Structure 1
Amino acid sequence: MKLLRRIVVIAAIVLVALYAAIVGYMFFNQRALQYDAEGPITPLAETALTQARAIALPSGDGTINGWYQPPRPGMPIIVYYKGNSGSFSREHERYARFVADGYGFIAFDYRGFPASPGAISEDNILTDALTAFDWAAEQGAPLLIWGRSLGSGPATYVASQRDAAALLLETPFLSAVTVAGERYPVLPVSLVMQDQFRNDQWIAEVSEPVLVAHGTADTTIGVSNGERLYALAPNPVDLWIVPGAGHSDLWDAGIWAEARPFFEQAMTP
């Protein structure tokens, strides 16, 4: 019995040590695990955006780089907050569709992503998001906010701090820490995660009309995140759930056809 007890004690110590090592590894490497900031930059000259221009905006202790095109007279600007993978420039076909329909846009990389040197952190991303919005506001046109995936965090935060005509959230999380907790249920993510992006708290201060779009086959951010976030919105307008759509499928599934009437309604006096 003494031998068995000793074996059990040793096994328990090993398991605790292993668990602590895993938690420690995730804590010290969490941003490398959380963000996918590598990827090529598409040159503006290689896109269909012949009237757009590159912009560089001072933000925090650095600069954010992106593209801007003004809208047609009387039309709004879409302030676009990108997702987690690669550079904003990879989505140039979206921006071309926006401008083809008369909308202006601003899109950029947060600091630490390919086009904008610097360190990635929640604080920096939120600062960069406000920088882009405030610069867009100076251009004099009405503003619409579009946040995709990771971008739902800064989009919701900005909408809680600034006035826009509408907020569209594409595959949003309830919070980043919610997604991490769902992915790693045995780890104390709420205690050690630094960049939690609490959409579930910020949404309470969002007065703008809200459209949430999600797919039922999204394995990156489960559809229940979008549904729960929409339920918390003070001014919910539309919840667009696409059966069988994954995390990156909503553009091809027709999200622009949903966004346009939503934006038009928001712009109607």
Structure 2
Amino acid sequence: MPTSDGESLIGWYSQAAPGCPTLLFLDGNAGGPAIQSGRWRRLHAHGVGFLGLAWRGYAGSSGQPDEAGLHQDARAGYDWLRARNIAAGDIVVHGFSLGSGPATRLAAERETGALILEAPYFSLLDLMQQKLPLLPVGLLLRNRFRSDVWIGQVEAPVLIVHGDGDRLIPPTQSERLFELAAGAARTRIVMPGSDHATLARDGLYDHVWPFLDAGWGEEGALPTCSGLAFGAR
């Protein structure tokens, strides 16, 4: 996939079953599609399409990662899906960890069917200030990923999932972010015992399927996803 600043991104894509949404997955730091095979199996088994991006500089994508570049990468993935005639309302943006920042901004700037945030931060700036209270983080940190600025502008339904055992991004980060989310169509789930990178393994999608079903269900404003078989991991 080409980006607006001339980079070339690698992505893994699976077409959705008729009437089902397509998930744009924005991974964490140094992640790549090859290590997320468990996610892809779960989505594919339920008829949900997906595009898993490799950030610039990782897993075969060109360029060097920085905040501005990652936002461009997220837009490139969205635009690639739209160019395949996937309706904006059928795109679900899913950001994990570092990817939650670009996901939040993308959902604020572009029309989407829903936003899923997995182990997100309030902002990277706030997180680093919390972890390094004795350092002038505000002066030193170039990449700030201000999800707190963008979350209130997201009009799509929002699902936030965090583990109460997360040692990298404390769940208080997503709690505060949830409080800023606009509208009534927002849900936050705290999974007991889950760490930062174990949510998918521990049953994340048991919460994702009902959330999507509410949007793509029989009475929902979004198209019915008749191919979904909710309830299985």
Check whether TM > 0.5. Answer: yes
SS in 2 for 1:241: strand
The one of 64, 67, 79 equivalent to 2:12 is: 67
The one of 246, 252, 259 equivalent to 2:208 is: 259
User: What is the aligned partner in structure 2 of residue 160 from structure 1?
Assistant: 108
SS in 2 for 1:57: coil
Q: Distance in 2 between matches of 1:136 and 1:199?
A: 23
Q: Aligned AA for 2:200? A: W
Q: Distance in 2 between matches of 1:237 and 1:197?
A: 21
Q: Which structure is higher in helix share? A: 1
Judge which range, 120-129 or 247-256, deviates more.
247-256
Q: Distance in 2 between matches of 1:108 and 1:187?
A: 33
Q: Distance in 2 between matches of 1:102 and 1:149?
A: 25
Alignment of structure 1 residues 178-189 onto 2, 5 Å = 178-189=126-137
SS in 2 for 1:186: coil
SS in 2 for 1:212: strand
1:99 shift after superposition: 1.1
1:100 shift after superposition: 1.2
Q: CA RMSD in A?
A: 1.2
Q: Aligned AA for 1:75? A: C
Identity %: 34
User: What is the aligned partner in structure 1 of residue 79 from structure 2?
Assistant: 134
User: What is the aligned partner in structure 1 of residue 224 from structure 2?
Assistant: none
Q: Distance in 2 between matches of 1:137 and 1:61?
A: 19
Q: Distance in 1 between matches of 2:213 and 2:30?
A: 29
Alignment of structure 1 residues 73-152 onto 2, 5 Å = 73-141=18-86, 142-152=90-100
The one of 146, 161, 169 equivalent to 1:221 is: 169
Deviation digits for residues 191-239 of structure 1, max 9, x if unmatched?
2211000000011211111110001111100000011101100034211
Deviation digits for residues 123-148 of structure 1, max 9, x if unmatched?
00000100101111222331111110
Q: Is the 1:66–1:115 Cα contact (8 Å) retained in structure 2?
A: no
Report the structure number with the largest CA radius of gyration: 1
1:68 shift after superposition: 1.0
1:252 shift after superposition: 1.7
1:59 shift after superposition: 4.3
User: What is the aligned partner in structure 1 of residue 2 from structure 2?
Assistant: 57
1:58–1:198 Cα change, 3 Å: closer
Q: Is the 2:159–2:211 Cα contact (8 Å) retained in structure 1?
A: yes
User: What is the aligned partner in structure 1 of residue 194 from structure 2?
Assistant: 245
Unmatched runs of 5 consecutive residues or more in structure 2: 222-233
Aligned residues: 214
Unmatched runs of 5 consecutive residues or more in structure 1: 1-55
The one of 151, 160, 174 equivalent to 1:203 is: 151
Judge which range, 200-209 or 234-243, deviates more.
234-243
Deviation digits for residues 144-166 of structure 1, max 9, x if unmatched?
11110001011001001001111
Q: Distance in 2 between matches of 1:128 and 1:85?
A: 14
Q: Distance in 2 between matches of 1:81 and 1:199?
A: 14
1:83 shift after superposition: 0.8
1:58 shift after superposition: 4.0
Deviation digits for residues 228-268 of structure 1, max 9, x if unmatched?
10110003421100122110121122111100110121222
TM-score by length of 1: 0.77
TM-score by length of 2: 0.88
User: What is the aligned partner in structure 1 of residue 120 from structure 2?
Assistant: 172
Q: Distance in 2 between matches of 1:57 and 1:65?
A: 9
